[in-house]
Amino acid sequence: MDNCIFCKIANGEIPAATLYEDEEFRVILDLGPASKGHALILPKTHAANIFELSDEMAAKAMILAKKMATVLTEALKCDGFNIVQNNGECAGQTVFHFHIHLIPRYQNDNVGITWVPGNLTDEDKEEILSKVRAILK
Ligand code: 5GP
Ligand code: ZN
């Protein structure tokens, strides 16, 4: 993808603070961190979102997320960890090249990864179960 900033960063055309790199991924520090140590896992090949990502790359990305979360926790002595992945504008995605957010959490850090819990109604429950199960059949 010619105009994709994360393709350029992942492939080393634009410099970024790189924590880890292999043949398929680069892990960089986020320029607008939610917390100290906020990092991004970028595949070197372009996929706009998780739906475009191959199963093989999705599996490797999650294994790398576990490894980097473990390393960041040891290095920064954080108290908890969020692993976040946004797909689509309404879900908060702003860069349309698949990436995983690694967000170290600290006691009382006030990082706002939260929502107001709703209520699962019987109507919604039945509708969702039947629609999803019909596709999975
Ligand atoms: P999204 O909102 O798409 O899930 O996340 C995009 C993330 O990329 C944001 O956290 C933003 O701070 C980060 N970001 C955007 N442009 C750059 C950049 O040029 N370099 C780095 N290191 N991070 C970026
Ligand atoms: Zn890209």
Residue 2 pLDDT? 82
**Number of C-beta neighbours around residue 33 at 10 A:** 15
Residues acting as catalytic residues: 99
Distance CA 17, CA 9 (A): 10
Strands (DSSP E) found in the chain: 18-21, 25-29, 39-43, 80-84, 100-105
Mutate to test the pocket of ligand 1, among 30, 98, 101 (most ligand atoms within 8 A of CB): 30
pLDDT level of residue 126 (50, 70, 90 thresholds): very high
Question: What's the pLDDT tens digit per position in 16-48?
Answer: 999 999 999 999 999 999 999 999 999 999 999
Q: pTM for the whole thing?
A: 0.97
Ligand 1: nearest atom to the Cα of 94:
3
Distance CA 137, CA 135 (A): 6
Ligand 1 atom 17, closest CA: 31
Distance CA 73, CA 114 (A): 21
Residue 1 pLDDT? 75
Distance CA 27, CA 87 (A): 19
Q: What are the tokens at 85?
A: 């992945």
Cα(5) to centroid(ligand 1), Å: 9
Query: Ligand 1: which residues within 6 Å by Cβ?
Result: 5, 16, 28, 30-32, 40, 86, 92-95
99, 41 Cβ separation under 8 angstroms: yes
Question: What's the pLDDT tens digit per position in 66-121?
Answer: 999 999 999 999 999 999 999 999 999 999 999 999 999 999 999 999 999 999 99
pLDDT level of residue 3 (50, 70, 90 thresholds): very high
Residue 107 pLDDT? 97
The count of residues in the chain is 137
Return the ligand number nearest the Cα of 102. Answer: 1
Cα(16) to centroid(ligand 2), Å: 15
